[in-house]
Amino acid sequence: MNFKLSLLALLLSFSVITTSCISVKVSDNTVSAVSSEVRKPKNIVLLIGDGMGLSQVSAAIYYKKDGKPNFERFNTIGLSKTSSSSDLVTDSAAGATVFSAGVKTYNGAIGVDKDTIAVPTIVEQLSKEGYSTGIVATSSIQHATPASFYAHVKSRRFYEDITAFAPNSGVNFFAGGGLKFFNDRKDGENLLDDMKAKGYDVFTDKLPKTPSRNNEIILLAEDGMPKMSEGRGDFLPNATKLALEKLSKNEKGFFLMVEGSQIDWGGHANDADYLIEELLDFDKTIGEVLDFAKKDGETLVIVTADHETGGFTLATDGKNYNKIKPTFSTTGHSGTMVPVFAEGPGASLFNGIYESNEIYHKMKALLAK
């Protein structure tokens, strides 16, 4: 009898411990703090597949030729509701501002709320706390998603205004396109000089093999980076590896945002080959980050999307159920929920179905000291 009581007490104790490890404090449906029992990450890497819905992710299963997709390495998967404050179907600007600043805002907004008031971004907040930060994209770094992490403007189309935030952004590592918005501006200014004056090393010809000791900005295209089909090669995985090598030298920790920007562009073009090539490049990049995180042991990896683009589906080719024919229902975005993958310390918080801005609040709660 005593043995049975002891065993029951042990099981109850284990249940309490297990439950407390995933508990969170919630205020107005927003995560505000994490239980002290939750193992918190030192670093967070947020990978955004722009326009990447579940069918896009599923394409990796059917079109990846060398082994399983890296998406299958995740053990925690949730779903995000993507509507903006102004529209049922979000755009990329509002869709990224939810991740960078934690607010639902209007379509077109970059780092501002629905009243066009600037909201501090996670990059700005963590930079002030001593973390290293980085932004990598296959678009220009002034495009909607990357811009939302360091700029505050009322319209995503104000590319030169967005660029003006870069010298004082505190971001330690930029990589992508967008050179012309620095050195071919309507105001005649050359903001590359401003970047250098702020201590940045500037690279415009190729990706360095090793990280600089200084902050660095790598701009390898006048606007967006070339497509994979145009010879971009391994820019995204290699730039991400370089960023990880650089940022991980900070003992405090780091935050890195990586965007597979052109998955979205393939969806808008209703070009399945374009979309799938970009998706597989993004999957390869995810693999590099997961490999780093597995070795590091202190890094939370989150993979999600701002929205789905193209109403993309993996349909049968007529009545042939052994052949897939990718199809589209729109050249715009759709309102479907998008997946959220998480792996590493704190990953369990990303289970379930929640509003997209919850991702910001979960990240902030996990990094709170």
CA–CA dist 55, 361 (Å, integer): 27
pLDDT digits (tens, 9 = 90+) for 218-257: 999 999 999 999 999 999 999 999 999 999 999 999 999 9
> Is CATH 3.40.720.10 the right assignment for the domain spanning 39-367?
yes
Instruction: Name every residue whose Cβ is closer than 8 Å to that of residue 156 and which is 6 or more positions away in sequence.
Output: 91, 92, 93, 108, 109, 110, 143, 144, 147, 162
Grade residue 21 by pLDDT with cuts at 50, 70 and 90.
Answer: very low
SS3 246: helix
Residue 27 has pLDDT above 90, yes or no: no
Res 99: pLDDT: 98
Rounded to two decimals, what is the model's pTM? 0.92
List active site positions. Answer: 92
CA–CA dist 87, 27 (Å, integer): 25
What are the residue boundaries of the structural domains of the chain, listed by start? 1-33, 39-367
Res 83: pLDDT: 98
Mean pLDDT of all residues in 181-204: 98
How many Cβ atoms from other residues are within 10 Å of residue 28's Cβ?
Answer: 5
Instruction: Name every residue whose Cβ is closer than 8 Å to that of residue 42 and which is 6 or more positions away in sequence.
Output: 253, 298, 299, 345
For 258, list phi and psi in degrees, rounded to 5: -125, 125
Instruction: Name every residue whose Cβ is closer than 8 Å to that of residue 5 and which is 6 or more positions away in sequence.
Output: none
